[in-house]
Structure 1
Amino acid sequence: MKYLPLLLICTVLAACQHKGSSGVADNPDNVAGTDTATWVTYSGTLPCADCEGIITELSLHRPPDTQFKMTETYQGKNQTLRSEGTYSIVHGIPSDPGATMILINPEKDKNLQRYLQQVDEHELKLLDSDQKTIESNLNYTLKKVL
């Protein structure tokens, strides 16, 4: 009987710490709508050699979980590609040893990898396959979706 108040306090504390699931963050297909504390989404239209542009949405799970989901919609081609996998954070690129780079698909063939330099906390810039800035007047950036 003397332990009853302690048991009640522990039960209340445990109940307060339990986080209910809204279903949004638990649904991996709904990345853009997930909790911003867990996922960060970047979006933009990247250049395309044989279409009007590639509408790109890249969602990165915050570390330590390094999962990504990407949707690329080719304008004028009625084609959408979805991919997912892992990414890694790399410090330093050939042109800037102090830069931070996101490496998409680090464990896969180089042809399936993507390199994105973090310009600031709201912007990523696509790099070429040699991890160098793409010299062009075209827009190669993805902006953070707020």
Structure 2
Amino acid sequence: MKNLLLIFAVASLLISCNANKNEQKSKPLPENQGNKILEKENLGQVNIYEGLLPCADCSGIKTVLKIYEGNGTMENYKFELTSVYTGKQPEKTFTQKGNFNYERGLEKDPDGTVYIFNWDKPESQRMYYGYKSNNRNKIFVLNDKREIINEETSFLTLKK
């Protein structure tokens, strides 16, 4: 019986040593290598909108909005919004990243589209942009009721 326990103990020790070697071989790549490459591949097609939005206390907000549609599943819907407040020293840059969802219908246009950025966060952190069905090249800034703030000045233009 003692020999059987000894054999079992030695076998267990050998198996656990080999398991540790295998674990070391299969470590994930450092974040600055593999993970970022995979992340970029999964983001899929990107629509880039740019423009200068009005600002109450600066000369304008230079804005770039990137909408990544991933592989078409909601889990991969990502956005990146970069805003540069111009005309102040120093210029302030803000970048927001997160998830989005969308819904059909913008004001009286049932085929328009409304993007809900940060849809998975509290209402106070959500942002709304949308385009009309007859012009996807122009995306408007919307208020929390999903209404266009100002059709003449509060929009971005599709660049890519």
TM over 0.5: yes
Aligned partner of 1:54 in structure 2 is 61
Aligned partner of 1:129 in structure 2 is 144
Shift of 1:51: 1.0
Using the alignment, how far apart are the partners of 1:27 and 1:42 within structure 2? 24
Using the alignment, how far apart are the partners of 1:44 and 1:89 within structure 2? 21
Matches within 5 A, 1:1-146: 26=37, 38-62=45-69, 63-64=72-73, 65-77=76-88, 78-119=91-132, 120-135=135-150, 137=152, 139-146=153-160
Shift of 1:80: 0.3
Structure 2: state its 5+ residue gaps: 1-35
Q: TM-score w.r.t. structure 2 length?
A: 0.63
Using the alignment, how far apart are the partners of 1:136 and 1:94 within structure 2? 12
Q: TM-score w.r.t. structure 1 length?
A: 0.68
Q: For residue 133 of structure 1, what is the amino acid of its counterpart?
A: I
Cα deviations by residue, 1:69-103 (Å, 9 ceiling, x for unpaired)? 11100012310001100011111245443321111
Using the alignment, how far apart are the partners of 1:81 and 1:135 within structure 2? 22
Q: For residue 149 of structure 2, what is the amino acid of its counterpart?
A: I
- Bigger share in helix: 2
- Residues 106 and 131, structure 2, Cα contact 8 Å, conserved in 1: no
Using the alignment, how far apart are the partners of 2:150 and 2:45 within structure 1? 33
Cα deviations by residue, 1:10-29 (Å, 9 ceiling, x for unpaired)? xxxxxxxxxxxxxxx9397x
Q: 1:121 to 1:97 in 2, by over 3 A?
A: closer
Using the alignment, how far apart are the partners of 2:156 and 2:150 within structure 1? 16
Using the alignment, how far apart are the partners of 1:135 and 1:56 within structure 2? 16
Using the alignment, how far apart are the partners of 1:27 and 1:75 within structure 2? 34
3-state SS of the aligned residue for 2:37? coil
Using the alignment, how far apart are the partners of 1:27 and 1:68 within structure 2? 17
Shift of 1:66: 0.3
Sequence identity percentage: 25
Q: For residue 26 of structure 1, what is the amino acid of its counterpart?
A: I
